[in-house]
Amino acid sequence: MNKIIVPIDFSKHSEYALKTAALLAHKHNATVYALHMLDIQEVSLTESEINQQEKAMFFLKLAEQKFKDFLVKDYLEGIKIVPVIKHFKVFSEVNAIAEEVNADLIIMGSHGVSGLKEFFVGSNTEKVVRYSSLPVLVIKNEMVNVDFEDIVLATDFSDESIPAFKKMINSLDFLNAQKHILYVNLPNEDFKTTSEMETMANNFLMKAEGDSHRLINVNYVCDRSIEKGILNFSNAVGADLISVITHGRKGLSHIFAGSIAEDLTNHSTLPIMTLKM
């Protein structure tokens, strides 16, 4: 863990994310890139180019000063902070910056009122996750420590999730926590018997890692929905963090595009780490 990206909108939730990044940075001697994206909608297309430039410069200077003041925090002392300001809210830029600086993680704050779609304005978290090629850690509340000991990693054991699974495992290794790999079995046409689930998990791990030594960490639960299965199991094992792999189409992979995401984030106080397939 060397570099962390934190999008900032000056809200208390983005400060929760910044404080979490600071805790991780202290622990792993990482650099924090605080990113603010300007939303210069005040500039009218009917104005002259000179006036547009003057307004843009005004908002830029205002944001720079506000940013400077926002980053004066006791918990940031001793941490290398790199402020980054972009002129427009283009969420693919978060991933572009992350790739440019070779970041390891993006940390974002979520209001949790109507799921992750209430992050900042609209569905910004969903947009960042959609574009991000690295893990995104979503924080709902203020974190007092980052001593994660038990992590639930939910997966559907699909072949297309193998690269993301391997990357997620590597991303979680720095936490030195117990990883509980979870498959949620639903009472529908996709219901699987115990032997079918065990075979599926074994085949998945053999393809992903060349052996099945993680089978000892695989857990199967039956529930009426994926989010309920994840939450109930996470509560049962006393998890500190929920980790999910998503590609935004269906089932568990649809985690950020429907009620699964909303229910999971609204009903859980735990931080959630996502990684796109």
Same fold? 3-139, 150-276: yes
Q: How many CA atoms lie within 13 A of 61 on its CB side?
A: 6
Domain ranges (residues) in the chain? 3-139, 150-276
Topology (CATH) of 3-139: Rossmann fold (3.40.50)
Q: At residue 45, what is the residue type?
A: L
pLDDT tens-place string over residues 163-222: 989 999 988 888 889 999 999 999 988 899 999 999 999 999 999 999 999 999 999 999
Query: Cα(262)–Cα(57) distance, rounded to whole angstroms?
Result: 38
**pTM of the full predicted structure?**
0.84
Q: Which stretches does DSSP call E strand in 80-212?
A: 81-86, 105-109, 136-139, 150-154, 178-185
Query: Cα(234)–Cα(244) distance, rounded to whole angstroms?
Result: 12
End-to-end alpha carbon distance in the chain: 21
What is the CATH code for 150-276? Answer: 3.40.50.620
> Is 247 a residue whose pLDDT tops 50?
yes
Give the model's confidence band at 118: pLDDT under 50 very low, under 70 low, under 90 confident, else very high. Answer: very low
